[in-house]
């Protein structure tokens, strides 16, 4: 994978991986049958999610799609929540040639919106709703939150470098040509200069969104998230 490809991955996560994760949770192959059994499962799970009607109103999924999502989520996570170690295990399966631990940690924190150390069904649904069905603005807001590691409302060069290094580590031997040790920093320097419009050393959410919207590759990649399920 070349640097342009890595840049798109850095901003919009890893598109193929999300499809694989959906398959892992059994969400793509599942049918759309609306059964009484589904309603009973929703009522008896150890971690009871919010009412389907409320999740349907808050997300961009239909009731039947939410039932499919829940069935897959329950099969993989009987307790009703996903911890960080499970997240890392899922990523390691799809990137055995690299070390996905750090990137999985950053992505887990982006899904764990209340920062309680676990991702609930509600967290999972709302994250997927944005990534798969959200507007460009919503997707870029989510991506900004991923980069804003300390959640202070700004992206620093160090934060961008941490994410970029995590991506390079995760991709491992898939990059071509073989990358030098200082390649992530060089790439971040170039990418950061494009985004930091006023040269104050940080990237605001407005600068981030404006830069991404002007990038045809990023906008094209966003379309690949649509209609996955």
The pLDDT tens digits of the residues spanning 105-162 come to: 998 998 898 889 998 888 888 988 888 888 889 989 988 998 999 999 999 999 999 9
Separation CA 13–CA 23 (nearest Å): 17
Q: For residue 156, which of 200, 186, 194 has the smallest C-alpha distance?
A: 200
Q: Is residue 1 part of a domain?
A: yes
The pLDDT of residue 33 is: 44
Separation CA 153–CA 144 (nearest Å): 9
Mean pLDDT of 69-94: 83
Give the structural domain span for 87.
1-21+50-220
Q: Is residue 34 part of a domain?
A: no
Q: Is residue 37 part of a domain?
A: no
Q: How confident is the model at residue 225 (pLDDT cuts 50, 70, 90)?
A: low
Q: Following DSSP, what letter does each residue of 135-204 receive, concatenated?
A: -HHHHHHHHHHHH-TT-SS-EEHHHHHHHHHHHHHHHGGGSSSPPPTTHHHHHHHHHHHHH-TT-SSEE-
Q: Is residue 64 part of a domain?
A: yes
Regarding predicted confidence, which is higher, 202 or 179?
Answer: 202
Q: Is residue 32 part of a domain?
A: no
Whether residue 177 is preceded by a cis peptide bond, meaning omega within 30 degrees of 0, is yes
Provide CB contacts within 8 A for 19, sequence distance 6+.
Answer: 28, 228
Contact 23, 29 (CB under 8 A): yes
Residue 206 maps to which CATH number? 1.10.238.10
Q: Is residue 44 part of a domain?
A: no
Residue 82: in which H helix or E strand, if any?
A: strand 81-83
The pLDDT of residue 59 is: 92
Q: Is residue 28 part of a domain?
A: no
Residue 34 DSSP symbol: -
* pTM (two decimals): 0.76
**How many C-alpha atoms does 107 have within 13 Å on its Cβ side?**
30
Task: Give the number of domains in the chain.
Answer: 1
Q: Is residue 176 part of a domain?
A: yes
Mean pLDDT of 34-49: 48
Q: For residue 207, which of 161, 164, 154 has the smallest C-alpha distance?
A: 154
């Amino acid at each position: 994978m070349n640097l342009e490809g890595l840049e798109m991955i850095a901003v919009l996560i890893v598109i193929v991986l999300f499809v694989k994760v959906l398959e892992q949770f059994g969400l793509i192959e599942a049918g759309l049958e609306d059964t009484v059994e589904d309603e009973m499962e929703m009522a008896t799970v150890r971690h009871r999610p919010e009412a389907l009607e409320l999740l349907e109103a808050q997300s961009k999924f239909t009731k039947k799609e939410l039932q499919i999502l829940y069935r897959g989520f329950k099969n993989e996570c009987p307790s009703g929540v996903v911890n960080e170690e499970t997240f890392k295990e899922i990523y390691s399966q799809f990137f055995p040639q690299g070390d996905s631990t750090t990137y999985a940690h950053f992505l887990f924190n982006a899904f764990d919106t209340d920062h309680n150390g676990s991702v609930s069904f509600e967290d999972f649904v709302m994250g997927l709703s944005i990534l798969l069905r959200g507007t460009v603005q919503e997707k870029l807001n989510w991506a900004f939150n991923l980069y804003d590691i300390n959640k202070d409302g700004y992206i620093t060069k160090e934060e961008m470098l941490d994410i970029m290094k995590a991506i390079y580590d995760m991709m491992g031997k898939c990059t071509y040509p073989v990358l030098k040790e200082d390649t992530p920093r060089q790439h971040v320097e170039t990418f950061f200069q494009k985004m930091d419009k006023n040269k104050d050393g940080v990237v605001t959410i407005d600068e981030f969104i404006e830069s991404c919207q002007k990038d045809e590759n990023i906008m094209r990649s966003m379309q690949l998230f649509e209609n996955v399920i």
